[in-house]
Structure 1
Amino acid sequence: MRALVKTRPGPGLEMIDVPEPTPGPREVKIRVLRAGLCGTDLHLHDWDPWAAETVRTPMILGHEFSGIVAEVGPDVTDVEVGQLVSGEGHIVCGRCRNCRAGRRHLCINTQGIGVNRDGAFAEHVVIPASNVWVQPEDFDPDLAAVFDPLGNATHTTLSFPLAGEDVVVTGAGPIGVMAVAIARHVGARYVAVTDLSGERLALARAAGADICVNPAEGDLRQAMRALGMREGFDIGLEMSGAPPAVASMIDHMNHGGRIAMLGLPKEPYPVDWGKVITHMITIKGIYGREMYDTWYAMSSMLSTSRALRDAVTSVITHRFPATEWQTAFDTARSGQCGKVVMDWS
C-alpha cells in the first residue's frame, strides 16, 4: 500500500510502498479516506529537536483521519466492517493509576498514532477497537477526519461554564476557530479573537466571533470598549502558544477569570504570576481529549446544530489528493489557511 513515511532521521518524508498492516485480536483495520494535517506533522516533517527525541524511524505519520472499516480482529464485537469511523489518536495503557480511575486522557504511558506507532497517512491504518469512533452512515468523511482537532477544541472550550460569559480566544488556527463556534453554540455572550493572520481572523468571524483583533493593529482593551464591556473577560481560551498573546490575555481577564491553555509554546516564557494571584485567575492545562466524554459531547453538538456543523466544516479550507502531499504540507506551513485535508480514497 502507499504510505507517507519518515524513512530515516532528518527533514523530509517519502511516499513509498509498504506492507498492509494486519489487525490483532482486539484491533481494527481501516481503509483511510481522509487525513488532516496537524502542527505535529510539520514538526515531524522538519525533524526539530522534539521530533528527533520522540520518533523512531521508519514511521508512517498522521493521526487525524476518517475511513471505512476494512477488517476487524476476532475479539472485536462492537465495530463492523463497512462502518465510517474516526480514530482517537491517543492509545492508553489501561494499567496506570489514571487509566484505572477512568481518567484515560491523563495516562502517563500514552502512545500517539503517527508518532509512536504507524499512523494514517496511508491507504490503511490499524488501531485498537477501543480507539474507534463510529460515525453515522451519511456523515461527511471530511468532517469525520477533523474529529481529533475538534476534540481538542471541545475539551478546551467546555473546560469551564460559558453560558452568558465573555470569552477571548487567542489564536485563530483551525482549533481556535472551532472553539469560537463551540463557544457561540453553548451561549457565550461575547467572543473576541486575536491573531496576526487576516485570513484566519476572517474564518473566526464567519464562525461566530463578535470581534476580531490583529495585535499588530489593535488590542483587547479596544475590543472591550467596542463591545461595551466594563470589566475583563470571564473565560480565556489560549490556542496560540505565543507568549505575547498569553500576556495580553492575562492582562485583560476579569478578577476570578478562568483560562484553559491548549497552545504549545516553542520554549519556556515568563508569566506575570503576581497578576494571576492577585486577580485570582484559574489556569488549566489541556492536552488531547477526555476519553470519551469529549467524543460524546462533540458528536451530540454536531447532531443538534447545522450551524455548528457548517462552522466546523468551514475550517477545512484546502483539500489535496495524497499524491500532492508536499503541496499540502507547504500550504499548512504557510499559515494562510485553515485545516488542510489529504484525500486517500
Structure 2
Amino acid sequence: MKALVKEEAGPGLSLRHVPEPVTGRGDVLIRVLRTGICGTDLHIRAFDGWARRAVRPPLVLGHEFVGEVTSIGGDVTGVRVGDLVSGEGHLVCGTCRNCLAGRRHLCHRTVGLGVGRDGAFAEYVALPASNAWVHHHPIDLDTAAIFDPFGNAVHTALSFPLVGEDVLVTGAGPIGIMAAAVARHAGARNIVITDVSEYRLELARRVGVSLTLNVAKTSVAEAKERLGLQEGFDIGLEMSGRPEALRGMIANMTHGGRIAMLGLPTEEFAVDFSRIVTSMITIKGVYGREMFETWYAMSVLIEGGLDLSPVITGRYPYQDFEAAFDDAASGQCGKVVLDWTA
C-alpha cells in the first residue's frame, strides 16, 4: 500500500509503498478515506526538537482520519465490516489505575497513533476496535476526518457549563475556532476570540462569535468594556499556549472564573498567582479527549446542526501532500484534509 513515511532522522516526508498493517484478534483494518493534517504532523515533517525526542523513524504519520472497516479480528464486537469510523488516536494500556477506573484519557502509558506507532497517512490503518468510533448517522467525510481535533475543542469547551456565560477564547487556530463554535451552540452569551492573524479571525467570524479581537491592536480589557462586562469573563478557553494570552485572560476573568487550558506552551512562564488565588480562579489542563464521553458529545453536536465546514479550508489528493503540508504550515489556513480515494 502507499503511505506517507518519515524515513530517516531529518526534514521531509516520502510517499512510499509499505506492507499493509498486520491486525490482531482485537483489531480492525480500515481503508482510509480522508485524513487531517495536524500540528504534530508538521513537527514530524520538520523533525524539530520535539520530533527528535518523540519519533523513531521509519514511521507512517497521521492520526486524524475517517475510513471504512474492511476486516475485523475474531474477538471484535460492536464494529462491523463496512462501518464508517473515525479513530481515537490515543492507545491506552487498559491495566493502569485510571484505565481500570474508566478514566482512559488519563492513562500514563498512552501511545500516540502516528507518533509512537504507524498511523493513518496510508491507504490502510490498523486500530484496536475499542479505539474505533462508528458513525451511525450520515456525516460529511471531511468533517469525520477531523473528529480528533474537534474532540480537543469539545473536551475543552465543555469543561464547564456554558449556558448564559461570557466566554473568552485565546487563539483562533482551527481548534480554537471549533471551541468557539461549540460554545455558541451550547448557549454561551458572549464569545470573544483573540489572535494576531486577520485571516484566522475572519474564519472565526463565520462560526458566529460575538467579537473577534486582534490583540496586536486591541486589548482584552477594551473588548470587555465594549461588551459591557462589568465583572469580567466567566469562562476562559486558552488555546494558544502563549504566555501573554494566559496572563491577559487571568487579568480579565470574573471572581470565581474558570479556565480550561489546551494550548501547549513551548517553555515555562510566570503568571500572576496572587490574582488566581484572590479571584478564586479555577484552571483545568486539557489534553486529548475523554474516552468516550467526548466522542458522544461530538456526534450529538454534529447531528444537532453544528457546522464545521468553515474551518476546513484546504482539500488535496494525497499525492499532493507537499502542497498540502505547505498550506498547513503557512498559518493562512484552517484545517487541511488529504483525500486517499483519489
Query: Gaps spanning 5+ residues in structure 2: where?
Result: none
Amino acid at match of 2:5: V
1:199-278 equivalences in 2 (<5 Å):
199-278=199-278
Identical aligned residues as a percent: 61
1:92-103 equivalences in 2 (<5 Å):
92-103=92-103
Could you tell me which residue of structure 2 aligns to residue 198 of structure 1? Answer: 198
Could you tell me which residue of structure 2 aligns to residue 76 of structure 1? Answer: 76
- 1:7 to 2:18 alignment: no
Counterpart of 1:121 in 2: which secondary structure?
A: coil
Aligned residues: 341
Amino acid at match of 2:60: I
Counterpart of 2:274 in 1: which secondary structure?
A: helix
Q: What CA distance in whole angstroms lies between the structure 2 residues aligned with 1:168 and 1:339?
A: 22
Q: State the superposition RMSD in angstroms.
A: 0.9
Deviation at 1:137, TM superposition (A): 5.5
- 1:35 to 2:45 alignment: no
- 1:337 to 2:333 alignment: yes
Counterpart of 1:207 in 2: which secondary structure?
A: coil
Could you tell me which residue of structure 1 aligns to residue 156 of structure 2? Answer: 156
Deviation at 1:22, TM superposition (A): 2.4
Could you tell me which residue of structure 2 aligns to residue 16 of structure 1? Answer: 16
Amino acid at match of 2:203: L
Q: What CA distance in whole angstroms lies between the structure 2 residues aligned with 1:139 and 1:22?
A: 28
Counterpart of 2:206 in 1: which secondary structure?
A: helix
TM-score calculated relative to the size of structure 1: 0.97
Q: What CA distance in whole angstroms lies between the structure 2 residues aligned with 1:77 and 1:231?
A: 52
Q: What CA distance in whole angstroms lies between the structure 1 residues aligned with 2:195 and 2:135?
A: 33
Could you tell me which residue of structure 2 aligns to residue 116 of structure 1? Answer: 116
Q: What CA distance in whole angstroms lies between the structure 2 residues aligned with 1:169 and 1:205?
A: 13
Q: Tell me if the contact between 1:193 and 1:209 (Cα under 8 Å) persists in the aligned partners.
A: yes
4+ aligned runs moved over 4 Å, structure 1: none
Q: What CA distance in whole angstroms lies between the structure 1 residues aligned with 2:137 and 2:280?
A: 47
Amino acid at match of 1:337: C
Q: Tell me if the contact between 1:65 and 1:145 (Cα under 8 Å) persists in the aligned partners.
A: yes
Could you tell me which residue of structure 1 aligns to residue 173 of structure 2? Answer: 173
Amino acid at match of 1:253: M
Query: Gaps spanning 5+ residues in structure 1: where?
Result: none
Q: What CA distance in whole angstroms lies between the structure 2 residues aligned with 1:98 and 1:65?
A: 26
- 1:328 to 2:329 alignment: no
Q: What CA distance in whole angstroms lies between the structure 2 residues aligned with 1:140 and 1:29?
A: 21
Q: What CA distance in whole angstroms lies between the structure 1 residues aligned with 2:299 and 2:80?
A: 19
Deviation at 1:136, TM superposition (A): 2.9
- 1:317 to 2:313 alignment: yes
Amino acid at match of 1:105: H
Could you tell me which residue of structure 1 aligns to residue 85 of structure 2? Answer: 85
